[in-house]
Amino acid sequence: MTDRYTQAVNSGFTKTLAKKLGLPRPAILRRYRAGDPLAVGPVLVVSDGASQKDADVLAQALLAWDVDVRRQPTDDVRWGAVLLVVTEAETPTDLAEPVLAVGSVLRRLAPNGRVVTVSRAPAEGDSPALSATRNGVDGFLRSLAKELRAGATGNGVVLTDGAAVGAGSTLATVRFFLSAKSAYVDGQLLRVGPAEPTGADLTTDRPLAGKVAVVTGAARGIGASIAQTLARDGATVVCVDVPAAGEGLSRTANDVGGTALQLDVTADDAGTRILAHARERHGALDIVVHNAGILRDKLLANMKPAQWEAVVAVNLAAQLRINETLLAAGLDGLHIVSLASTSGIAGNKGQSNYAFSKAGVIGHTRATASLLAAQGGTANAVAPGFIETDMTSSIPFAIREVARRLPTLAQGGRPVDVAEAIAFLASPAAAGVNGQVLRVCGQHMVGQ
């Protein structure tokens, strides 16, 4: 799956050549395998003075996960990760010391290393200085991520509404960013609220054990990978796709030991049938992944009604209608994850219909989040960037190459990278992550 260029610049003579020529050298990303250590080396935990206590809490949690935790930057170590805790910093000057400490070890950050910031979101009523300090972390992290090399990434956990650093969802998010599961997530800040997961085991290999998940568009590509990842994490997966895609769908269902439901998500009764199938055949419905989507790229000037309408019907209206049914059913602890797109955030020429639908997904995700929160559920979205699939492999070579090299990680992501993010957001431990959009784009330059 690693593209040829990435292979070439990482091995043999072509590696030396690329180095000498100063060509971009995308790294071979480390991806999750059960049993592998969480981090690739010792984890340095640094903080400003006021955040010392929170740093201690996180260091304790890391120790409990069998991580080699250090509190002092030294140069005899190949660092696996750096955790920068600035939750209690109040003025911009508070940041200088811990930030420079991070800087002092970056040259010794191991390939596929991690920098994770933990900070608090600015809120109504914050003093200007506090708000500046907290918002500053955003720009700092995104810039830092861009200077990391060799598959290392930088991401931030942003606590909202007084969420505690020791809360389950905070720890789960820190763990996700430290882990290989976030291989293609880079330069992202994810907000974590105070909602506390119940009985979530953060270290289990099967965080979705006993859960029933529905994945639409599961016949192939990203959908099939989501089904596989959710099943790997222990979920029973109902694989949904249009009847015409049934051959791939049954392959996915049989791969993951789930059931295949041939269904057009735009059908009026799609939500009812999904719910009935999950309940009657598997006794519950805990996770819904709205992955089904279509492209009908056309400049708006040339757009035919059918091209606009089909994209909106499948990518947006179907999700809305299904969610209505699910909300009306009053399911407890329902996790909905929708597929948005970087196009929906930054826009893309020739994709006005697609971008409308995907930005719409982000909109309905935020609105649905508060509706679900009442019953312990969440709604989130994942916005993939350039992912290597059958679909993207049909893009002309030159455009594909440019698209691949644009992100900080200088390569396309894999379907599993999207799936890992979804599996995380769908997990009970992510209860505090609600109404968020997580980009899986290798820090693509466009948009926020």
Partner 1 sequence: MATRQKTSAPAAGGTAAQPQGVRDAVIVGGNRIPFSRAGKRYADASNQEMFTAALEGLVARFGLQGERLGEVVGGAVLKHSRDFNLIRESVLGSSLSPATPAFDLQQACATGLEATINIANKIRLGQIESGVAGGSDTVSDAPIAVSEGLRRALLEAQHAKTWQARAKALAAIRPGDLKPLVPATDEPRTGLSMGEHQAVTTARWGIAREAQDEVALASHQHLAAAWESGFFDDLVTPFRGVTRDDNLRADTSLEKLASLKPVFGRSLETTPTMTAGNSTPLTDGASTVLLGSREWAESHDLPVLARFVDAETAAVDFVHGHEGLLMAPVHAVPRLLARTGLTLDDIDFFEIHEAFASTVLTTLAAWEDPDYCRDELGLDGAFGTVDRAKINVNGSSLAAGHPFAATGGRIVATAAKLVAQRAAETGRPARALISVCAAGGLGATAVVESV
Residues annotated as catalytic (active site), given as ranges = 354
Beta strand spans in 231-295 (E): 236-241, 259-262, 287-290
- 283 counts as binding partner 1 under rule CB under 8 A: yes
Pick the binder of partner 1 from 249, 274, 372, 421 (CB under 8 A): 249
**Rounded-to-integer distance, Cα 3 and Cα 409, Å:** 13
What is the C-alpha end-to-end distance of the chain, expressed in Å? Answer: 27
DSSP assignment letter at 264: -
Minimum distance, C-beta of residue 295 to partner 1, in the bound complex (Å): 20
Q: Binding string to partner 1 for residues 204 to 243, with x set by CB under 8 A, is what?
A: -----------------------------------x---x
- 166 counts as binding partner 1 under rule CB under 8 A: no
Minimum distance, C-beta of residue 243 to partner 1, in the bound complex (Å): 5
Burial 183-200 (b: 16+ CB within 10 A, else e): bbbbbbbbbbbebebeeb
Pick the binder of partner 1 from 215, 263, 274, 345 (CB under 8 A): 263
Q: Do 3 and 27 touch, CB atoms closer than 8 A?
A: no
Pick the binder of partner 1 from 257, 305, 330, 396 (CB under 8 A): 257
Pick the binder of partner 1 from 30, 149, 251, 366 (CB under 8 A): 251
Minimum distance, C-beta of residue 256 to partner 1, in the bound complex (Å): 8
Minimum distance, C-beta of residue 232 to partner 1, in the bound complex (Å): 15
- 282 counts as binding partner 1 under rule CB under 8 A: yes
Identify the CA nearest to 117 among candidates 58, 37, 66.
58
DSSP letters spanning 146-208: HH--TT-EEEEEEE-TT--TTSHHHHHHHHHHHSGGGTT--S-EEEE-SPPPSS--TT-S-TT
**Rounded-to-integer distance, Cα 96 and Cα 183, Å:** 28
Q: Binding string to partner 1 for residues 107 to 126, with x set by CB under 8 A, is what?
A: --------------------
Record the tokens describing residue 398, joined without a space.
Answer: 């030159």
Residues paired with 46 in a beta bridge? 84
- 254 counts as binding partner 1 under rule CB under 8 A: yes
Instruction: Candidates 34-42, 182-190, 279-287, 434-442: pick the segment binding partner 1 (CB under 8 A).
Output: 279-287
Pick the binder of partner 1 from 75, 280, 332, 390 (CB under 8 A): 280
- 76 counts as binding partner 1 under rule CB under 8 A: no
Among residues 49 and 283, whose Cβ is nearest to partner 1?
283
Inter-axis angle of helices 305-312 and 352-373, to 10 degrees? 20
Instruction: Candidates 44-52, 85-93, 277-285, 422-430: pick the segment binding partner 1 (CB under 8 A).
Output: 277-285
Minimum distance, C-beta of residue 355 to partner 1, in the bound complex (Å): 30
Pick the binder of partner 1 from 258, 293, 360, 407 (CB under 8 A): 258
Other C-beta atoms closer than 10 Å to the C-beta of 209 total: 12
- 391 counts as binding partner 1 under rule CB under 8 A: no
Among residues 261 and 345, whose Cβ is nearest to partner 1?
261
**Rounded-to-integer distance, Cα 341 and Cα 338, Å:** 10
DSSP assignment letter at 389: S
**Rounded-to-integer distance, Cα 72 and Cα 218, Å:** 47
Among residues 76 and 390, whose Cβ is nearest to partner 1?
390
- 351 counts as binding partner 1 under rule CB under 8 A: no
Minimum distance, C-beta of residue 42 to partner 1, in the bound complex (Å): 42
Pick the binder of partner 1 from 14, 262, 266, 392 (CB under 8 A): 262
Q: Do 207 and 185 touch, CB atoms closer than 8 A?
A: no
Among residues 105 and 270, whose Cβ is nearest to partner 1?
270
Minimum distance, C-beta of residue 276 to partner 1, in the bound complex (Å): 10
Q: Do 212 and 282 touch, CB atoms closer than 8 A?
A: yes
Strands 437-440 and 378-384, sheet pairing: parallel
Residue ranges that bind partner 1, judged by CB under 8 A: 239, 243-247, 249-254, 257-264, 267, 280-283
